[in-house]
Structure 1
Amino acid sequence: MSPTVVIILIVVLLVIAAAVVLGARASRRKQLQNKFGPEYDRVVGDADSRSEGERELREREKRHAEFELKALSAESKAKYSVAWEEVQIQFVDSPEQAVSTADELVTKLIAERGYPTGDYDDQLANLSVAHARTLEHYRDAHAISERSKSGEAETEDLRQALVHYRALFADLLGENPIRSEGAASPASEPKVPEQKINNHDSDVANSRPDATSR
């Protein structure tokens, strides 16, 4: 075999190897985009490079795999459903307190599912692996809750916070995520019928908080 043929074979093999590597990278990228949805764009956009952002998402996956997550029992689900109903009732007389209670209830539910609680940003990162589709709801709810603490949130803002909290709340309970206006774009959310956390309450957007908007 002549040296020229050997060189050609080496070049061909290198091209094939590069194609395989690029194909595997593209496949992995697609998997991350499908899993994290809008969160993929957010993390990559905040990073210095796409590879750094993807590295962060893979690290989240590794941490998530170490959590001892558990499904809720029927009794626990019923308990949380009743607690949420009480939050809605509380909104009638005290919207600010209801939003604060909703935040505490969601945090408690996060912990019971087996996620560590503490730093808010860490909570977002941990939830993003399995609950990316409702993560923007949590961000919006938390932002309104923080504004409420300084008296900067109107009643309609507080009602929207409750709607956003409810979306993540339903997701953590194991129900289908609930679409709510004012959060993530419809294209980034699953196309599912609206469902209720309990059997006799209407959706939060049409529940007691709506009737008290000022």
Structure 2
Amino acid sequence: MTTSIWVAVVVAVVALAAVAYLVLRQQQRRSHLREQFGPEYERTIAEHDNRREAEEELLDRERRHAELDIRPLTEESRETYANRWTEVQERFVDAPGFAVTEADQLVTSVMAERGYPTQDFEERLSTLSVGHAATLDHYRTAHEVSGRAARKEASTEELRQAMVHYRALFEELLHETARGR
């Protein structure tokens, strides 16, 4: 074989190795994102024109989340919030719409004390999706019902379900320790 053929073979092997490496990295990244974001991964894919854009958004969420100072609650704060949750649940019997609104505010308060941004609902969803993907749909559903409750458009059963949904995220936020800190 001539030198030019050997060079061509080496270049082809290197090119194939590079392609295989890139495909493997993409598969690893996709696997990581699916594991990290759970159902939020598929939701984000469905909201974008292509998978690459969606995955870049999820990676960007991880980067922004890593910059936050997410901290655990003190034992005293956990106890205070737990007591407040009990009070909200007790108010549900007499004023279910008001209790759901209070539950929304209580979840937001816990988020704020933990170091999560709370100004905008979409920003809250984006930030929570990194560490709380499993309960994110609960939060979306509860928040939607809370909005309808404020307009007096939600049934008592929907309000009860909203309380259950809020509680799922509330419990996670209340008892979670700061990850990776």
Report the TM-score when normalising by structure 2: 0.94
How many angstroms does 1:65 deviate by?
A: 0.6
Deviations along 1:97-141, one digit per CA (max 9) or x if unpaired, are 000100100000010110111110010001110111110100010
2:41 equivalent in structure 1: 40
AA aligned opposite 2:166: Y
2:165 equivalent in structure 1: 164
How many angstroms does 1:158 deviate by?
A: 0.3
For residues 1-214 of structure 1, what are the structure 2 equivalents within 5 Å?
1-174=2-175
- Of the two structures, which has the highest relative contact order with CA contacts closer than 8 Å and spacing of 6 or more? 2
Deviations along 1:141-191, one digit per CA (max 9) or x if unpaired, are 00111111221100011000000000000010126xxxxxxxxxxxxxxxx
Deviations along 1:180-207, one digit per CA (max 9) or x if unpaired, are xxxxxxxxxxxxxxxxxxxxxxxxxxxx
Deviations along 1:64-107, one digit per CA (max 9) or x if unpaired, are 01101110111111101100000011001100100010010000
CA distance in 2, matches of 1:96, 1:55: 38
Range with bigger deviation, 65-74 or 1-10: 1-10
Any gaps of 5 or more consecutive residues in structure 1?
176-214
AA aligned opposite 2:151: S
How many angstroms does 1:28 deviate by?
A: 0.9
CA distance in 1, matches of 2:155, 2:45: 33
How many angstroms does 1:25 deviate by?
A: 1.1
How many angstroms does 1:44 deviate by?
A: 1.2
The alignment-based identity, stated in percent, is 49
Any gaps of 5 or more consecutive residues in structure 2?
177-181
Root-mean-square deviation (Å): 0.9
How many angstroms does 1:9 deviate by?
A: 1.4
Range with bigger deviation, 146-155 or 121-130: 146-155
CA distance in 2, matches of 1:108, 1:2: 71
CA distance in 1, matches of 2:65, 2:6: 50
- SS at structure 1 position matched to 2:163: helix
2:179 equivalent in structure 1: none
Report the TM-score when normalising by structure 1: 0.80
Alignment length (residue pairs): 175
More helix by share: 2
AA aligned opposite 1:141: A
